[in-house]
Amino acid sequence: MTEAAERAINQADVLVGGRRHLDMYKHLAVDKYPVTADMAPLIDIIKAHVAAGKHVVVLASGDPGFYGILATLKRRLPGLRPEVVPGVSSFQLGCARLGIAWEDACLTSCHGRDPAVLVAAVKKHAKVITLTDPHNTPPALARVLLDGAIGDLTVHVACNLSYPDETLTTTTLKQLAAEEKWISSNCIMVIINEN
C-alpha cells in the first residue's frame, strides 16, 4: 500500500472494490460497494455518485492499468478521466521476492482467460510470467502446459504476496501438476524455459 493510495482512500466519499479490499476499510464511515461479476449496476452507481460531485475511489490490487479494472472502467465510462494511483504490481513484487529480473519476461494472464495463451507464450519465450485465478490454479496450469507438449520446466510460484501467509515455491511443472489442491487463489507463476 503506497502513501498516495492511503491519502486517496482517506479522502473518499465512496469506496468501490473487491470484498477483500473493502474489508480493509471497515473502519471508514463511507458508502461501500463491492465489485461483483455483473458490473452494470456498479457502473450506474459510480456514474450517479460522480455526477453528484462525490469523490469515488475504486480499490484494486497492484497496478490497475495492468490486467486490472482500469480498462473496464474506461470502456464502460467513456467520459471518465480517472486519477490512477498505482500500487506495486504482483509481477513486480513476486519477481522481487524471487530475485528474478523481469525485463526479458513475456507477461501474460490466465485470470479469467483461456490458458492456451500461456502454452503459446512458453513455446516462444525463455521466461513467462502469468497471473492465475481460482480455476486456473498453478497445478491446473502446470497440467495444461504438460498437455500442450511443454517439457518439465522450472516454475516459481508466489502467492498472497505482501500478506502474512505469503508463500514462495520453486518446483517443476511435473511436481506442480501432481498437487491435488492449491490453497491460495492469489498467485503468479514464473516459468523458465531454457531449452
Find the binding residues for ligand SAM in span 94-113 (CB under 6 A): 111
Burial of 39 (0-12, 13-18, 19+ CB in 10 A): middle
DSSP string, 56-67: EEE--SS-TTTT
Q: What cell numbers appear for 13 in the block? A: 466519499
Report d(CA 86, CA 65) in Å as an integer: 8
Report if residue 89 touches ligand SAM, rule: CB under 6 A. Answer: yes
Number of residues that bind ligand SAM (CB under 6 A): 21
Report if residue 129 touches ligand SAM, rule: CB under 6 A. Answer: no
Stretch in the footprint of ligand SAM (CB under 6 A) among 32-40, 60-68, 140-148, 172-180 = 60-68
Report if residue 139 touches ligand SAM, rule: CB under 6 A. Answer: no
Instruction: Name the residue nearer to ligand SAM (CB basis): 31 or 86.
Output: 86
Report if residue 193 touches ligand SAM, rule: CB under 6 A. Answer: no
Name residues whose C-beta falls within 8 Å of residue 156's C-beta, 6 or more positions apart in sequence. Answer: 94, 98, 100, 168, 169, 170, 189, 190, 192
Report if residue 62 touches ligand SAM, rule: CB under 6 A. Answer: yes
Report if residue 131 touches ligand SAM, rule: CB under 6 A. Answer: yes
Tell the smallest beta-carbon distance from residue 53 to ligand SAM (Å). 28
Report if residue 188 touches ligand SAM, rule: CB under 6 A. Answer: yes
Instruction: Name the residue nearer to ligand SAM (CB basis): 88 or 146.
Output: 88
DSSP string, 12-53: -SEEEE-HHHHGGGTTS-SEEEE--S--HHHHHHHHHHHHTT
Q: What is the CA radius of gyration of the chain?
A: 18
Interacting residues with ligand SAM (CB under 6 A): 61-64, 66-68, 89-90, 111, 131-133, 158-162, 186-188
